[in-house]
Amino acid sequence: MGTLANPSRTACFSIHAEAEPSVMPRVLEQFAKRGLVPDQWHSSCAEGCGSELVIDIQICALDPALVRSIAEAMRRIVHVDQVLTAEKSP
């Protein structure tokens, strides 16, 4: 299981990628292989049926080093253009 940090903090990931069918399962795999289930997942194609896929993920209580590791792994996924991370408090 992943390393837990402050439970009141939420790690946020924003992934911008080409709208390809393989992107979403590969992004989810980065959490699943660490035994993690995101608290929230939202994905949409920019501007309706556009060619850009935007995925926003939130997960509570992750260690900052693990957040960086997951983000780096997602940046190496084929068709992923950008991965942004942030942290929010309640």
pLDDT at 89: 79
Count CB neighbours of 85 within 10 A.
16
Task: Read off the pTM.
Answer: 0.87
Domain ranges of the chain: 10-88
User: What is the pLDDT at residue 36?
Assistant: 96
Q: pLDDT per residue over 26-52, tens digit each?
A: 999 999 999 999 999 999 997 667 789
- Which residue ranges of the chain lie beneath pLDDT 50? 1-2
In CATH terms, is domain 10-88 a member of 3.40.50.150? Answer: no
